[in-house]
Amino acid sequence: MKKQIALVPGDGIGPDIVGEAVRVLDAVAARFGHAFTFAECLAGGVAIDARGEPLPAETLQACRGADAVLLGAVGGPKWDALGGSQRPEKALLGLRGGLGLFCNLRPAVLFSQLRDACPLRADIIGDGLDIMVVRELTGGIYFGDRGRNAAGDEAYDTMRYSVAEVERIARLAFGIARQRHRRVCSVDKHNILETSRLWRETVTRVARDFPDVALSHMYVDNAAMQLVRNPRQFDVIVTENMFGDILSDEASMITGSIGMLPSASLRLDHFGMYEPIHGSAPDIAGKDLANPIATILSAAMMLRYTFAMPAEAQAIEQAVGRVLDAGLRTADIAAKGEATVGTRAMGDAIVDALA
C-alpha cells in the first residue's frame, strides 16, 4: 500500500524526533510490504524565520494533498516576543482549521515498565492505565462569541454547540470504543449548562446506534476527581473542547511522563494529523537527548486510525514495549542513577525490535 505523509518537524527537538519516527515507518514498510513517501514542510518558528509567517500557504496545501500529517513540535523562547497572530503556535490552529480536524485523541497509557513514575499509589493503578480522551476540537467556548464592554471592565466568552457538532464527535468516540473495551463515559456539566444538556441528549441518542457499547455520563468536576481516585474505571472519555483540554492534560500526567504520549487530530474521513503531546524543548534540540517514543507512537496511531493498519500499529507498540523491557531509557524516563541512551539509540533499538 502506498501512502504519502506530510512531515512538519517544526522547532526545537521536532526534527530529531520526527526523524526517528520516519525510520520506524520505513522499517514497518519493509516488514509489511508498504511504501511510505514523505514531504517535509515548514511550520512554526522555523517558518517565521524562513517565510515570515507561522503557516505558509504551501505547507497547508502540501498537508491537504497528503494522506496524513506527522508533526513534531512548534514554538520556543526565540519567538516569545512576537504578537499573537505571528506566534509559532498559530501554525497548529491553522493546520487544525485548514484541514478540518475536529476530533482530538489523547491516549493516556501507563507502560508497566514505567509504573514507578506514576504519581498514584500502586493499589490505584493496579495492572496499569489505558484511557482514551476524545476531545471535540473546533467548538465550545474557545470558538464562541467573545468581547468586552465599552468601558473594558467586563468581558464575556460564549460556549456554543450544535447537534451536528456533538453527533459527529460522539460517533467517532463510540467507534473507537468498539476497538477497545466498549465503554464510553460522556463528560459534561448537565446540571448547569444548556450546552451540556444538548450534549447529553445528543450523545444519548447516538448511543442507540451502538448497542454493543456501554454509555455512562459524568459531571466534569467529578470526572477530574475520579481520574485521580479510580482511573481504571475509564475506557473512552468523550467531552467538549475546554473540558477535554483540561481532562486530557490531567490524564496524561497520571501516567508519569509526557515523553511517552502521542496524540491525533481527526476528521470524519479519518484523515489525521499526529503529534506528541510534549513541547519543543529547545534546550536539548540537536543534542541527541530527546525521547522519540511519543512521536513513534503517534506514527502508530496514524497507522491504526488513518491507514487502517492495526497489525502494523501493534507491531510498533510491541517493539516499544520490548525496548522498555530490555531496560533502555532516555533521560526523561530514567530512574535516578539509571543508565540512559540518546534519541538515535532509542530509535535504533525500536527499529531492531520491529525486525
- Render pLDDT for 211-268 as a digit per residue (tens, 0 to 9): 999 999 999 999 999 999 999 999 999 999 999 999 999 998 898 778 899 999 999 8
**Predicted local distance difference test score (pLDDT) of residue 250:** 94
Based on the fold, state whether residues 131 and 243 are members of the same structural domain. yes
The more confident residue out of 336 and 170 is 170
Q: Which three cell numbers stand for residue 9?
A: 518537524
Instruction: Please give the helix or strand (H or E) that residue 236 lies within, else none.
Output: strand 236-239
What's the number of domains the chain is made of? 2
Q: Is residue 113 part of a domain?
A: no
Q: Is residue 261 part of a domain?
A: no
Based on the fold, state whether residues 239 and 279 are members of the same structural domain. no
Q: Which of 78, 142, 219, 348 is catalytic?
A: 142
* Residue 142 among the catalytic residues: yes
Based on the fold, state whether residues 157 and 212 are members of the same structural domain. yes
* Residue 189 among the catalytic residues: yes
Based on the fold, state whether residues 248 and 277 are members of the same structural domain. no
Based on the fold, state whether residues 49 and 165 are members of the same structural domain. no
- CB neighbour burial string for 302-338, b if at least 16 within 10 angstroms, e if fewer: bbbbbbebeebbebbbebbeebbeeebbbebbbeeee
Lowest model confidence (mean pLDDT) among 41-45, 172-176, 250-254, 285-289: 250-254
Q: Which of 145, 209, 221, 288 is catalytic?
A: 221
Domain limits for position 205: 119-254
Based on the fold, state whether residues 243 and 284 are members of the same structural domain. no
The pLDDT of 102-106, averaged and rounded, is 96
Based on the fold, state whether residues 83 and 5 are members of the same structural domain. yes
The more confident residue out of 126 and 230 is 230
Cα separation, 265 vs 94, whole angstroms = 13
Point out the domain boundary residue: 224, 254, 284: 254
Q: Is residue 351 part of a domain?
A: yes
Give percent of the chain with pLDDT exceeding 70.
99
Q: Is residue 108 part of a domain?
A: no
Point out the domain boundary residue: 254, 282, 301: 254
Based on the fold, state whether residues 84 and 127 are members of the same structural domain. no
Point out the domain boundary residue: 225, 254, 283: 254
Based on the fold, state whether residues 218 and 312 are members of the same structural domain. no
Check whether 127 has a pLDDT greater than 90: no
Q: Is residue 151 part of a domain?
A: yes
3 in Cβ contact with 307 (< 8 Å)? yes
Based on the fold, state whether residues 329 and 223 are members of the same structural domain. no
207-227 confidence digits (pLDDT tens): 999 999 999 999 999 999 999
Based on the fold, state whether residues 46 and 127 are members of the same structural domain. no
The pLDDT of 261-287, averaged and rounded, is 95
Q: Is residue 110 part of a domain?
A: no
Q: Is residue 109 part of a domain?
A: no
Based on the fold, state whether residues 178 and 144 are members of the same structural domain. yes
Q: What is the CATH number of the domain that holds 346?
A: 3.40.718.10
The pLDDT of 284-289, averaged and rounded, is 96
Cα separation, 293 vs 353, whole angstroms = 13
**Which residues face 253 on adjacent strands?**
none
According to DSSP, residue 282 is labeled G
Residue 66, CB half-sphere, CA atoms under 13 Å: how many? 28
Q: Which of 11, 16, 189, 274 is catalytic?
A: 189
47-101 confidence digits (pLDDT tens): 999 999 999 999 999 999 999 999 999 999 999 888 767 889 899 989 999 999 9
Q: Is residue 77 part of a domain?
A: yes
